[in-house]
Chains A and B, each alone.
Chain A
Amino acid sequence: MGKLDGKVAVITGGARGQGRAHALTLAREGADIVICDIAAQIDTVPYPMATPADLEETVRLVEDLDRRCVAVQADVRDGAQMQAVAERAMSEFGRIDILLANAGIFSFAGGGGSWEMTDEQWRDMIDVNLTGVWQSCKAVIPHMIAGGRGGSIVITSSTAGLHGFANFAHYVSAKHGVVGLMRTLAIELAPHNIRVNTVHPTSVRTPMVMNEATRRLFGGGQDISQEQFFEIMQSMNALPVGAVEPEDISNAILWLVSDDARYVTGVTLPVDAGFGVK
């Protein structure tokens, strides 16, 4: 008997990293899964993004747990594509109980301050990390309301959703923005027993962080070793860890979407190794 038996979860950005970990964690607790991912490169993103093969691998891993998994290649920036993801979930499973608005990208101003970022960098970031979250919610919420069974939405924000960081004002703005969106949706959806919360990870050990571009950002322009990279990340956290595992975020999300958290809504939950108090 899993905590999510009979439930259906839609997870954006499910091809790899945190999204994949969430898919497996929820599946392990009995949920069937619908994942989507752009599974393609966005020009302003300085590291390789996920591929269709990654998306298929997540499907395979969920099916290994004896749960169903439907994958859709979709760009969260596109409302019509997100509507199609939600409709696919409804036609395959007849219900949506959980939405994890997890899809996200990262980039940063090269060398100068955030005001020296290009319009394209700014636009892509807001479009994916803020508007994409809104499009995901917009597509799923009507189905959740119509289902009459309540629901749970968790949006992946960041330490950057609660604190400022140099070099990536667009990421910080988007991650702060989803907190405002979450608080409003929590108020609007409460009468429907749909709960909405955000999680705020510190650095997570996934391809979004573990790449040369991000190492160079932390290394002040130089590529640095894995050890130095982890040391620098660890110095930002309070607990003696550099990057948390994607499963640490999944565990927090699992609690939030389960009945154990039936009256938890509108919260910003840091899973940040104490970054926020340092």
Chain B
Amino acid sequence: MGKLDGKVAVITGGARGQGRSHAVTLAREGADIVVCDIAAQIASVPFPMGTIEQLQETVQLVEDLDRRCVAVQADVRDAAQVKAVVDRALSEFGKVDILLANAGIGSFSSVVDMTDEQWDDVINTNLKGVFNAMRAVLPHMIERRSGRIVATSSMAGRVGMPNIAHYAAAKWGVIGLVKSVALEVAQYGITVNAVCPTTVNTDMIHNEATYKLFRPDLENPTAEDALAAFSGLNVLPIPWVEAQDISNAILFLVSDDARYITGTAVEVAAGMNARTAA
């Protein structure tokens, strides 16, 4: 008996990384899964993004757990594409119980040097994409008077971080969105929360562009060069958390055990949050 037996979850950004981990974790607890991913490169993103092959591998991993998984290639910046994902979930499964608005990108620049494209791509994926996903599922959840939404914010949504002001703006924005929507849909028993990870051990950080963000003093930093800088952000003596740690928090939030938790931002952040007031 899993905690999510009979449930259906829609997960954006499910080709790899945190999204894949969430898909597998929820499936392990009995949920059937619909994943989407742009599965293509956005030009302003300085590291390789998820691929169709990776999206298909997520499907395989869920099916290996004897659960159904439907994958849709979709760009969360496009409201029609996101709606199509939800429509597909409804036609395949008849309902959506859980939405994980997880899809996100990053790029690095000071504000002074930032291009419109860099700003727009991050805001449109990381903030508007979350809005698009919520707007697509909520009419159905409201009609059923039931639902769980978790949006992936970040510790960059709790503090300021140089050279990723657009990312921080989007991630702070996600929390404003989460809290406001929580108020709108509380009367239907639908809960809406955010998770705020510290650095997570995925492809999104293991690339030269991210290492350079953490070690701007080096020409060609390696993971090892960046390790101390990553660790310096955290209070627990670790450089990063695993995607599974975020999945565990999300599992708690979408289960019945958290039926009265709504409008919160839960930091899975190795204590980085202890230094801030937010």
B-chain residues with CB within 8 Å of residue A267 when the two chains form the complex: 266-267, 269, 273
Q: Known A240-B189, A269-B266, A277-B183; judge A187-B258 contact (CB<8 A).
A: no
- Could you say which of B251, B263, B268, B270 contacts A238, with CB atoms under 8 Å apart? B263
**Max chain B Cβ within 10 angstroms of own Cβ: one of A187, A195, A261, A264:** A264
Q: In the assembly, what is the distance between CA of A52 and CA of B262, in Å?
A: 37
A-B contact pairs, 22 of them (CB 8 A): A183-B274, A186-B235, A190-B237, A190-B271, A240-B187, A248-B260, A251-B257, A252-B257, A260-B248, A263-B236, A263-B270, A264-B269, A266-B235, A267-B266, A269-B264, A270-B261, A272-B260, A274-B183, A276-B263, A277-B179, A277-B262, A277-B263
Q: In the assembly, what is the distance between CA of A186 and CA of B276, in Å?
A: 12
Query: Is there an interface contact between A255 and B189, defined as CB atoms closer than 8 Å?
Result: no
| Residues 187-236 of A at the B interface (beta carbon under 8 Å) | 187, 190-191, 193, 195, 202
Judge if A273 is at the interface, Cβ distance under 8 Å.
yes
1/0 contact trace for A156-187 toward B, CB 8 Å?
00000000000000000000000000111011
Query: Is there an interface contact between B260 and A273, defined as CB atoms closer than 8 Å?
Result: yes
Judge if A45 is at the interface, Cβ distance under 8 Å.
no
Quote the shortest CB–CB distance from A228 to chain B (angstroms).
20
Judge if B206 is at the interface, Cβ distance under 8 Å.
no
Query: Is there an interface contact between A187 and B263, defined as CB atoms closer than 8 Å?
Result: no
| Residues 140-186 of B at the A interface (beta carbon under 8 Å) | 179-180, 182-183, 186
Query: Is there an interface contact between B262 and A273, defined as CB atoms closer than 8 Å?
Result: yes
Judge if A53 is at the interface, Cβ distance under 8 Å.
no
Size category, A interface: 35 or more
Judge if A244 is at the interface, Cβ distance under 8 Å.
yes
- Could you say which of B180, B191, B264 contacts A239, with CB atoms under 8 Å apart? B191
Query: Is there an interface contact between B249 and A240, defined as CB atoms closer than 8 Å?
Result: no
**Max chain A Cβ within 10 angstroms of own Cβ: one of B241, B263, B270:** B263
A-chain residues with CB within 8 Å of residue B235 when the two chains form the complex: 186-187, 190, 265-266
Judge if B80 is at the interface, Cβ distance under 8 Å.
no
Judge if B135 is at the interface, Cβ distance under 8 Å.
no
- Could you say which of A202, A254, A264, A276 contacts B249, with CB atoms under 8 Å apart? A264
Query: Is there an interface contact between A274 and B270, defined as CB atoms closer than 8 Å?
Result: no
B-chain residues with CB within 8 Å of residue A252 when the two chains form the complex: 252, 257-258, 261
Judge if A262 is at the interface, Cβ distance under 8 Å.
yes
With A191-B237, A254-B257 given, name 9 new contacts (CB 8 A).
A190-B235, A202-B260, A248-B259, A252-B257, A260-B251, A264-B266, A265-B274, A269-B266, A277-B262
Q: In the assembly, what is the distance between CA of A227 and CA of B235, in Å?
A: 46
Query: Is there an interface contact between A244 and B182, defined as CB atoms closer than 8 Å?
Result: no
1/0 contact trace for B187-215 toward A, CB 8 Å?
10101000000100000000000000000
Query: Is there an interface contact between A266 and B271, defined as CB atoms closer than 8 Å?
Result: yes
Size category, B interface: 35 or more
B-chain residues with CB within 8 Å of residue A187 when the two chains form the complex: 235, 271, 274-275
Judge if A271 is at the interface, Cβ distance under 8 Å.
yes
Please report whether the interface of chain A is mostly helix, strand, loop or mixed according to DSSP.
mixed
A-chain residues with CB within 8 Å of residue B179 when the two chains form the complex: 277
Query: Is there an interface contact between A193 and B236, defined as CB atoms closer than 8 Å?
Result: yes
Judge if B87 is at the interface, Cβ distance under 8 Å.
no
3 nearest CB pairs, A to B: A266-B274, A277-B263, A238-B186
Quote the shortest CB–CB distance from A3 to chain B (angstroms).
11
Judge if B218 is at the interface, Cβ distance under 8 Å.
no
* Identity of the chain B residue whose Cβ is nearest the Cβ of A254 in the assembled complex: B257
B-chain residues with CB within 8 Å of residue A195 when the two chains form the complex: 236, 271
A-chain residues with CB within 8 Å of residue B189 when the two chains form the complex: 239-240
Judge if B238 is at the interface, Cβ distance under 8 Å.
yes
Judge if A90 is at the interface, Cβ distance under 8 Å.
no
Q: In the assembly, what is the distance between CA of A148 and CA of B144, in Å?
A: 49
Q: In the assembly, what is the distance between CA of A239 and CA of B264, in Å?
A: 13
Query: Is there an interface contact between A261 and B249, defined as CB atoms closer than 8 Å?
Result: yes
A-chain residues with CB within 8 Å of residue B63 when the two chains form the complex: none
Q: In the assembly, what is the distance between CA of A239 and CA of B187, in Å?
A: 6
Q: In the assembly, what is the distance between CA of A195 and CA of B237, in Å?
A: 12
Q: Known A238-B182, A251-B258, A260-B252; judge A270-B274 contact (CB<8 A).
A: no
Q: In the assembly, what is the distance between CA of A274 and CA of B237, in Å?
A: 33
* Identity of the chain B residue whose Cβ is nearest the Cβ of A182 in the assembled complex: B274
Query: Is there an interface contact between B260 and A239, defined as CB atoms closer than 8 Å?
Result: yes
Q: Known A261-B249, A266-B274, A277-B179; judge A271-B236 contact (CB<8 A).
A: no
A-chain residues with CB within 8 Å of residue B251 when the two chains form the complex: 260
Q: Known A240-B186, A260-B248; judge A265-B236 contact (CB<8 A).
A: yes
Quote the shortest CB–CB distance from A206 to chain B (angstroms).
15
* Identity of the chain B residue whose Cβ is nearest the Cβ of A241 in the assembled complex: B260
